[in-house]
Each structure stands twice: as C-alpha cells, then as structure tokens.
A = this chain, B = another copy of it.
Amino acid sequence: MIPTSTVPVRITEVCLRDGSHAVAHQFTVEQVREVTRALDDAGMHYIEVSHGDGLGGSTLQYGRSLVDEMKLIEAAVEQCKQSKVAVLLIPGIGTVHELKQAHSLGAKLVRVATHVTEADVSAQHLQVARELGMEALGFLMMAHSAPVDVLVEQAKLMESYGAQAVYVTDSAGTLLPEQVQERVRALRNAVSCEIGFHAHNNLSLAVANTLIAIQEGATRIDSSVRCLGAGSGNTQTEALLAVLERRGVDLGIDLFKMMDLAEDIVAPIMHRVPEVNKGSLAMGFAGVYSSFLLHAERAGKRFGVDPRNILIELGRRKAVGGQEDMIVDVAAELAKQK
C-alpha cells in the first residue's frame, strides 16, 4: 500500500490551470501570486499555470481569460523559491511560439496534451520542449476511451518523441479503480519513462484511484487544492497528502500549510464548491466530455428523451470533442426506439 517505484512521487498542483475552468478563467494576478506563494511555502513540487485549455486557450470558443496567462505565469514564477512552474499545451490550441514564451518567463515543465488516440500531434512540441531544456511530459486525455493496448501504443509514441513521463488522464472522471490499475500497470510494463495520473472526482473516486495509480508505480500525480478543477474537481491535494501521511509516505509537502491554504486562500476564490452533481456525475457515468452536457440537454428536450441516455450512448460510441453533431443523431435514434 505504499509507492512501489524507487522514483519519488511528485505532485503537480493544477488548481491554477484545471481550476481555471471552475472560475471561468477569471484568475487575477494577485490571486495567482497569493496561491503560488503559499504553495511554494508548503513545498509543492510543481504548480501548473495556464488557461484551463492550456496555453493559447483564451479564445471565444474556450473562454476568454481575464488576465493574459503569460502575466499569470510570470507572477507565479516570481513567487517560487522551491516550486517549479508548469504549463499545459494542447497542440492545435497552443503553439510552439507560446511554449517558448512561457519558457522564457521561467516555466520549467510542460505537459503536452492530446486525445488518447492522437499522440502523434505531440511530437513537435515535446521535441521543442526538450531542446529548450524543459521537462517534457505527455498527457493522454480521455484515457478511458481507448482500449488498453491503444493507450500503451500511444504512450510509446510520446516516449519516442522525448516525453519523460506519460499520463493516464481521466478527463471525464469515469475510470473505476480496476481500470486505473489495469492502465497504469500496462504502461509500467511497456515504457521506461515515468507514469503520471490525472483524475477528476465525478464518481467520487479521485483520491482512491490516485492511491491505486501510485501503488501501481505512477510517480507524477496531479491534484488540486480544495478540489478546484473542472467538473467535480480533481484529486483533492490535501486529502491525498493526509492519506499518504497516514500510510507513512512523506512527499516533503507540509500538510497543515496545505490545509490552511485550502481554507484561507483558495476557498474564498472559488465561484462554487466543486461537488458531485447531476452534470458531473452524468459525465463520469457516461464517460463523455463536459461540453456535451448542454447539447444533450437541448437535444433531449427536442426529441423527448432523457439527456443522460444520449450521453451514455455517446460514451459507447466514443464520441470526441468536435463531434457534437452526433448528439442530435443519437437523440433522434433513441426517440425512434422508444
């Protein structure tokens, strides 16, 4: 029940990136400064700062940021005495130009994120990151939606491009404990780089799934303080640290300082408390993107079917972002079957 790897477990705090979704990308420079200062003081390993959809995400489509993320990255870097600032980059949204800019401002690590079947689009960005001397990690999103052998094959691709770790990213918060175990174990047996794990709490399993990932050898762990992330939030940092400490695992991060930070600095910033609600649970249950929810509700109304049945069918068909048209087709079919 303790980490099986000899590589130490390192946490990336994602509240200033995944949490950006939860505050509609309205972080201020002062908020980023205050949160980063406290995280650094507690000994956090990495602090990710970017638009929720990664570098360059501030657009009409993904939501405009209140403050240019480069300013936020700069503010975070200034506060760090021991923590390193990380950024997220989704090729197609973010560019090499933005990666270089973030690096020049002091970002030390990038996670290059792609859909689980599209690792090939990460090659250029991973290579550039390595050339810049950054830590370059690969992030396989919606990891539940591909068979395990495909996940493994895609992780190997990322490793071949220079990724120093590959993440099982449970974007829809839908993986069950046994599915996390199977995926991390399969990667552990297939790649030489580190394995990472990123959870969402939509089924209320994020902390437990993260413990299993660590047990199976994952050493790069994402979490968000006070659960500040998209959907039901991520693995709650301070809860994870408390459980690990109870198990005798010391990551060098001060639990009490993290608890204080959660209560005194992060909670007051939050627009709402991340909880397992109808929308996030439907997402976790069906294994689909959160952006499908609203479309499914509209189509459900139009065709007189429960939007959750639409989401479940979309999950079965492994619908991905950009396939929103499929939603109306599915709704029409379900209406016919009734």
Contacts and interface: CB of A to CB of B under 8 A. Distances in A.
Contacts of A255: 285
Interface in A1-40: 1
Interface string A253-279: 001100110110001000001111110
Contacts of A278: 259-260, 262-263
Interface string A226-246: 110000000010111011011
Q: How many copies does the complex hold?
A: 2
A240 B208 CA distance: 14
A176 B247 contact: yes
A241 to B, nearest CB: 9
Interface string A178-220: 1000000000000000000000010111111101000000000
Interface residues of A, number: 43
Given A176-B243, A208-B208, A281-B242, A256 B308 contact: yes
A177 interface: yes
A282 interface: yes
Contact of A177 (B204, B208, B276): B208
A135 interface: no
A181 to B, nearest CB: 10
- Could you say which of A201, A206, A238, A240 has the most chain B C-beta atoms within 10 Å of its C-beta? A238
A41 to B, nearest CB: 16
Contacts of A306: 256
Given A1-B178, A204-B208, A238-B281, 7 more contacts: A176-B247, A204-B204, A208-B209, A226-B275, A236-B276, A239-B281, A245-B285
